Structure 1
Amino acid sequence: MLSETEIGTGSTESVAMRKIVHVDMDAFYASVEQRDNPGLRGRPVVVAWRGNRSVVCAASYEARKFGVRSAMPAITAERLCPEAVFVPPDFTRYKAVSRAVREIFLRHTDLVEPLSLDEAYLDVTENKTGLPTATRVAKTIREQIREELHLTASAGVAPNKFLAKIASDWRKPDGLFVIQPQEIEVFLAPLLVGRIPGVGKVTEARLKTIGIATVGDLLVRDQAALEEHFGRYGRRLYELARGVDHHPVVPDRTAKSISAEDTFERDIPLTEMDEVILRLAEKVWAASRRDMRVAKTVVLKLKTSEFKTLTRSLTPLVPPETWEELAAIALLLRERVNVAAMQRFRLVGVGLSNFRETTESPSSIFGEL
C-alpha cells in the first residue's frame, strides 16, 4: 500500500539512495492573484490578456473544472468558462513570490534546482535543519509556504527526480505523496506511458502501435527492441520503466535556450503556419520574461514529413522587446526556408537563445504559461 511513510529508514540500499523532493506550487499565478485580491477567491480566475491571439498563463482550480488549461488560447478559455475573471499577468510580482519560496527551500538544502518560477527539485539526502527524513522536510516546507506566504504547494518525495516529479502531481492540489524504493515497480506498472516525462502525444501514439500502453507493457520489452524503434530515447524509456534516473539535482541551472514546438495533426505547407508560429512565439516570450533575461537570437525549427530537421536563426541588432516582435522575426525566418512548394511539415518550433542578464522590468508581456 503506497502511503506517506518516511523515506530514509529501512535497508542499507534505501539509505544509499538519493532523497529527492519535487515541489510544485498550486496554480501559482492564479493563486497569487486570489491571495492578493480577496474578491477573486473562490471564483474561476484566468491569468491572461483577453484577445484572439492571447494564450492562458494559468487557471485557478475553479476555472479548471470547466476545462480551462494553461497554454490554451484565451478565446477558448472564455468560451469554456464565460464567467471567468481574466487577470493580466504580472510577472514581476510572481517572481518576487517565487524568490520567497526559494528562500524557504534554501533553509533546508543548498541543492535546489529551479525548473520555473513555480517548481523545483531539492536534494535533501542531507538536510540543513536536521529533520530525520525527506518526508518530514517536504511536510515542513509545505507548512512554511502556507503559513508565511499564504499559498499552497504540492510535493513528491522519491529516490530520484523522475519519480519525485510524478509523485508531486499525484495528490494535487495541496498534497504530498511519497514513493518508497520498494514500491517503485508496483507504483509504475499500471501508469499510462503518457505519464512518463518526454512522452508526448506523438510518442505515446507510436508506442501504442507496437502494443505499449502502460509502463508495465514497457517492462516486458528488452532495451534493444526499444532502441530499434526509438533510437537513444529507447534506452531512456527502458530505464524509466524501471524507475531508474541517475540525473542529479543541479543548483542554479540556467537554461541556455527557451523554446516551444507543436506537432501538427496533419502535415502542412509553410504557408499555413502563421497562427501556430504566433502562438508559439507568445508562449516562448512569456517563458523568457519569467526570469527577466533578454535573448539576442531567435530560432525557427521545422521538421519535414520525412523527419528532416531544418533550423533558421537570426541575431538582430536590437533584441525583440515584445512577443509581437519575436513573432515577426520567426515569420521572417520562415520566409528564408527555401523548399519546394509541395513540401509538407509535421512540426514547427520557435526558440530564443544567446541570453544576457537584465534587471529591467519587461516592457510588454502578452502572457502564457
Structure 2
Amino acid sequence: MPLLVIIGYVWPEPKSSAAGYRMLSLIELYLAQGWQVIFASAAEKTDHRADLQRLGVQEQQIVLNDDSFDLWLSTLSVQAVMFDRFMIEEQFGWRVELNCPDALRILDMEDMHSLRHARHQAFKADRPLNTADLNSDIAVREIAAIYRCDITLVISQHEMQLLQQHFSVPSALLCYCPFFIDSDNEQTLLGYDQRQHFVAIGNFRHAPNWQAVLWLKQTIWPLIRQQLPQSHLYIYGAYPPPKATALHNAKEGFYVKGWAEDVADVMQQAKVCLAPLAFGAGLKGKLLDAMQFGTPSVTTDIGAEGMTFADEAWGGIIANDSAAIATAAVTLYQDQQLWLTAQQQGTRILQQKFSAAKLQPVIWQQIQQTSANLAQHRANNFTGIMLQHHAYRSTKFMGQWIEAKNRLPPQ
C-alpha cells in the first residue's frame, strides 16, 4: 500500500476553518485511492481537531529543528510527502529530500499567502495593490517553495493565473485543486419564508474575517438597521477574542455568538449571509457553505474571486463599498424572487465549479502522471534544482544550528 506523509502546519479543524475542511478532503482523496496516510505536525493538538484515527489515518507528533524527524522518516517507505503551506516546506523540505529523495513532493498552498499579505498591506495604506506589494519577501519565499516541490495544489483559478502570468511559474508545476463538493447529494433547502435575519461566519484568527466584522459593526450594519430596524445579525466563528465578544450588542441586533457547533444549522436558518471582505486570497469556505445550504450572500469582488466565472451571476449580490453592501443586503432580504434566483445560482456554481465527481479524477491523473515521470519532471525544472541547491543548504544549516543550540545546557 503506497504511503503519503502529510506534514501539517496545524492539526486540521474542518469545523473551524476552510483550510481544515480542505485538508480533510485531500486526505480522503488519497484514502479513496487505496493509500495509507500519516499526518504529522509539530503543532499542539486542539480539542476541535478532526478525528483522523477514525478515518484510519495515523497521527505523528514531530518536533521542529530536531533530527528525530529524520530518524522517524527514514524508517518509512514513503511514496509522497505533502507540505501544508510553504512555511512547512521551508522547515522540513531539506529533511524530506535527504531521507526520501524519490518521494513525490507536493505543496498544498491553501490560499496564496503572499497575495493575502499584499492586499492587506495595500488595505492598511488605503491605496491600490501594486507590483511592490506582490513582489514581497513572502512572495519570494512562497514561489521558491513552489519551484522546490514537484507539484503545487492551487485552490483558486485567479491564483493559477497570477502564478503563471506575474511570477512566470510553469504550468507543469501547478495543479488546480479547489474545494470538493458532492453535488450528487441533493438536499432539501429551507425556503425564503422559513428563514430570517442575517449571518456572518469566519475564524476570528484570520485577519480578513476580523476586518469584516469591524466593517459590519462600524458602518454596514447601522445602515442595514436603518432600513430593517427589527433585523438581527448573528456572527459566528472559531476562537473569538475578547475584543470580538465586546462588540456584542443585543439592542443593536448585533450578536457575536462565537463557535458554531453545526454550520449547516446556523447557515440554513439565515436569510442572507454577509461577507464584506476587504482583502484576502484563496476561496472562501463561508461562501461555499452559504451556497451548499441555500443561503444567498452579499460579498465583495475579493470574496467571490475564483468562485465563479467572469460572465456568470453570483449566488447573491457583489458590492464593494459600505452603502452598496448595505443596499444589496436589504434588497436581497426583501425581494423574494431575487432571493430564489440567487439561491438557484448558488447551486449551479457548486455543480459547475466544485463537483467532486468532475474534479477529483482530473487532479488525481495529474498527480499520478507527475509521479510516474518524476525524474524527467525534475530535470525540466532547473530553477527548482538551483533553488534546492542553495536554499536547502541555508535552511539545513540554520536548522542544524538551532538544533545544536537547543541541546546546550541552560545558562
- TM bucket, shorter chain: under 0.3
Given the two structures, how large is their TM-score scaled by the length of structure 1? 0.27
Q: Which has the higher contact order (CA 8 A, sep 6+)?
A: 1
Instruction: Give the TM-score normalised by the residue count of structure 2.
Output: 0.25
Greater fraction of residues in strand: 1
Structure 1 or 2: more helix by fraction: 2
